[in-house]
């Protein structure tokens, strides 16, 4: 609140010095070549595709196990969405299935780091290099995740992050796009009306009024008010993550002992951001469905959600591409038995204990 108040009392509230500072600190944190602050992860994904030159006639490969925004942006640029099923353990896109759907029209692979657990990037990158494809990572859940010891976002390929209200780092609404400086220079123009100069450079003391519109861009810039929140959050992120991992450890230790519950995994080569804790109900072990399990938790004052309804089940995509539920069987089967438990640094030890007791109570009461 103090950081926001400082901005409100300053001479600048929209994209300006705080946004630049946030970009620089974020770049250093994830060891990225560069960063561009935007008003959402969706904006980052859309801007990234436009900067890559993706348009009508192109195909973009991604996963059904994601929020619709990951695929909506493909539609926005006029390209064709191509889905690939997920791996049974992480529910991330399955690299072994990617090459089978690559065609002469394929231009980009968008792996989504589901729940904050990094996708298996080495084989994905190898396929992309072999097929001359770009890789755009959807890291909405993946700050501050690591793959083989390196932060997600540290590479040269574009990576989109989310700072939505529920994320590990929030600016209320907001996002970040990382990549090479050359790539981000083009993305920056695209993200602000296609203008050759941003507002700060034009209106700050000594700035020039002159600008040119070099392409039909968008209005995707982040404000200094949001950036001020982001800067404080970024400096607290390590502490936030320590608490998230403490909660996850308690969940894992308890739920791994219950036969009807399947715990999420963390592969040895990654460090998950643990944005979500997704529990799965083992088929045939309980007398109630996933939806009924959620209702029972609600009766016990535990709020849950389902992440996610697979893309191919939504009417727009189902009807446009004529997809059927079993077209992506791993995603579909897991969707029917998963639910996300409360997980955020604000949970007290008593809160965590209450969640655990409620889940155990339901699991035992409805054991088959």
Distance, in Å, from the CA atom of 293 to the CA atom of 138, rounded to the nearest integer, reads 30
- Distances in Å between the Cα of 20 and the Cα atoms of 176, 224, 281 are 12, 9, 45
Asked whether the whole model's pTM tops 0.85, one would answer yes
Contacts of 260 (CB under 8 A, 6+ apart): 281, 282, 285, 286, 363, 367, 368
How confident is the model over 276-288, as pLDDT tens digits? 999 999 999 999 9
The C-alpha atoms of residue 308 and residue 75 are separated, in whole angstroms, by 19
Distance CA(182)–CA(188), nearest Å, equals 10
Q: Using DSSP bridges, classify how beta strands 35-38 and 150-151 pair: parallel, antiparallel or unpaired.
A: unpaired
Structure confidence at residue 203 as a pLDDT band (50, 70, 90)? low
Task: Mark whether 167 is an active-site residue.
Answer: yes
Question: What are the structural domains of the chain?
Answer: 2-234 (3.40.640.10), 238-365 (3.90.1150.10)
pLDDT tens figures, 111-152: 999 999 999 999 999 999 999 999 999 999 999 999 999 999
**Angle 4-143-155 from CA coordinates, rounded to 5°:** 115
- Residue tagged active-site, from 146, 167, 299, 320: 167
Dihedral class, residue 354 (left if φ above 0, else alpha if ψ from -120 to 50, else beta)? alpha
pLDDT at 349: 98
- What is the pairing mode between strands 150-151 and 146-147? antiparallel
Q: What are the helix (H) ranges across the chain?
A: 2-8, 17-30, 41-51, 69-76, 95-98, 121-131, 181-191, 199-203, 224-255, 290-299, 315-321, 329-335, 349-365
Any idea what DSSP says for residue 64? S
CB 285 within 8 A of CB 366: no
- List, for residues 231-252, the tens digit of each pLDDT value: 999 999 999 999 999 999 999 9
Closest C-alpha to 108, from 180, 178, 55: 55
Peptide bond into 144 cis (omega under 30): yes
Beta-sheet pairing, 106-109 with 59-62: parallel
* 82 or 203, which is more confident: 82
User: Per-residue confidence at 208, pLDDT binned at 50, 70, 90?
Assistant: confident
- Reduced to 3 states, what is the DSSP secondary structure of residue 340? strand
């Amino acid at each position: 609140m103090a950081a926001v108040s400082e901005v409100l009392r300053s001479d600048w509230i929209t994209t300006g010095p705080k946004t630049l500072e946030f970009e620089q600190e974020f770049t250093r944190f994830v060891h990225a070549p560069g960063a561009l602050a935007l008003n959402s992860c969706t904006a980052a994904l859309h801007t990234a595709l436009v900067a890559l030159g993706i348009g009508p006639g192109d195909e973009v490969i991604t996963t059904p196990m994601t929020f619709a925004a990951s695929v909506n942006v493909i539609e926005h640029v006029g390209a064709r969405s191509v889905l690939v099923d997920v791996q049974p353990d992480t529910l991330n896109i399955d690299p072994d299935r990617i090459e089978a759907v690559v065609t002469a029209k394929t231009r980009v692979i968008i792996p989504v780091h589901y729940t904050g657990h990094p996708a298996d990037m080495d084989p994905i990158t190898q396929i992309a290099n072999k097929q001359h494809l770009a890789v755009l990572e959807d890291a909405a859940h993946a700050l501050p995740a690591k793959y083989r010891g390196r932060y997600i976002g540290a590479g040269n390929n574009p990576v989109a992050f989310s700072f939505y209200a529920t994320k590990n780092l929030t600016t209320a609404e907001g996002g970040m796009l990382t990549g090479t400086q050359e790539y981000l220079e083009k993305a920056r123009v695209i993200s602000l009306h296609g203008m050759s100069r941003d507002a700060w450079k034009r209106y700050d003391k000594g700035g020039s009024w002159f600008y040119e519109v070099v392409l039909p861009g968008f209005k995707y810039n982040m404000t200094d008010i949001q950036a001020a929140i982001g800067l404080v959050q970024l400096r607290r992120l390590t502490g936030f993550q320590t608490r998230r991992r403490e909660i996850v450890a308690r969940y894992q230790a308890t739920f791994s002992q219950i036969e009807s519950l399947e715990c999420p995994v963390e592969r040895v080569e990654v460090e998950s951001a643990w944005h979500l804790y997704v529990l799965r109900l083992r088929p045939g072990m309980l007398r109630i469905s996933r939806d009924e399990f959620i209702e029972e938790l609600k009766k016990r004052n535990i709020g849950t959600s389902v992440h996610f309804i697979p893309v191919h089940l939504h009417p727009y995509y189902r009807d446009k591409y004529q997809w059927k539920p079993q077209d992506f069987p791993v995603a579909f089967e897991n969707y029917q038995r998963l639910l996300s438990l409360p997980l955020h640094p604000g949970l007290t030890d008593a809160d965590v204990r209450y969640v655990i007791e409620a889940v155990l109570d339901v699991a035992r009461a409805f054991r088959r």
